[in-house]
């Protein structure tokens, strides 16, 4: 059964404009068909379409809500987009499937990509949520300057860089029931100035293993490791 994102109002689900078009025009759904619905906030439902056209699809809720189990940590990954956009898009898709709560994009001194189509990223995120049968849609933030991103609050602040440093290991962290923010730099890594800026506001250097990882690999490694350690 197909999954759609909708706004829930009592016992009625109004599919978003894009979801309505996909439901009616692509999947040929019609009134009377049953569909799975998520609100993007952690709840899923079973519904029956009462209105179906390319501009608006509305369903009656017949079962639910069913709530997605919450992870016992909140993971915010702030990463510099790669020059080849397909690499970062692939990483985002897999990170969402594994489990992530928030994604930010950072513009660094060594960044080779400083523009990003957030609407496209949002679609990738939503598609991955539906494909992996989740009900919570991670928050996606637009690309921002490094100095602005590091001002974000978190219980645990980590920066992954390639310079020699006294680095923490992910497996040694007590992160349950805490908000974690991890910074992953561009292909040319963070500059020493950026590393020092981050440290000045509470970020701790973290090790992602003994080998040097590509940006998208480092991001996915981080998400996967926290999921395994839970």
Q: Which domains does the chain have, with CATH numbers?
A: 3-67 (2.40.240.20), 74-229 (3.40.1280.10)
Mean pLDDT per 10-residue section of the chain, whose length is 230 residues: 91 94 92 95 96 93 93 96 94 97 96 90 96 95 96 96 92 94 94 96 94 94 95
Listing from the earlier edge strand, what are the strands of the sheet with 156-160? 139-145, 102-107, 74-79, 179-184, 156-160, 204-207, 168-169
Q: What is the pTM of this model?
A: 0.93
CA 49 – CA 47 distance, rounded (Å): 7
Beta-strand runs (E) in the chain: 3-9, 12-15, 34-38, 43-52, 57-67, 74-79, 102-107, 139-145, 156-160, 168-169, 179-184, 204-207
């Amino acid at each position: 059964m197909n999954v759609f994102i909708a706004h829930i109002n009592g016992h009625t689900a109004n599919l978003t404009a894009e979801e309505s078009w996909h439901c009616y025009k692509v999947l040929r759904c019609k009134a009377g068909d049953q569909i799975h619905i998520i609100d993007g906030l952690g709840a899923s439902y079973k519904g029956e379409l009462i209105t179906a056209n390319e501009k608006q699809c509305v369903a009656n809720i017949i079962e639910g809500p069913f709530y997605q189990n919450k992870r016992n940590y909140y993971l915010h990954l702030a990463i510099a987009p790669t020059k080849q956009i397909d690499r970062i898009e692939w990483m985002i898709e897999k990170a969402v499937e594994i489990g992530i709560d928030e994604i930010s994009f950072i513009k660094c001194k060594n960044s080779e990509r400083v523009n990003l189509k957030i609407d496209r990223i949002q679609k990738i995120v939503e598609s991955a949520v539906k494909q992996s049968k989740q009900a919570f849609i991670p928050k996606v933030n637009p690309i921002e300057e490094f100095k602005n991103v590091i001002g974000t609050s978190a219980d645990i602040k980590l920066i992954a860089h390639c310079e020699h440093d006294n680095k923490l290991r992910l497996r040694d962290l007590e992160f349950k029931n805490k908000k974690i923010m991890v910074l992953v730099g561009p292909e040319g890594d963070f500059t020493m100035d950026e590393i020092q800026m981050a440290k000045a506001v509470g970020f701790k250097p973290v090790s992602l293993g003994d080998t040097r990882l590509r940006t998208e690999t480092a991001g996915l490694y981080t998400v996967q490791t926290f999921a395994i350690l839970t």
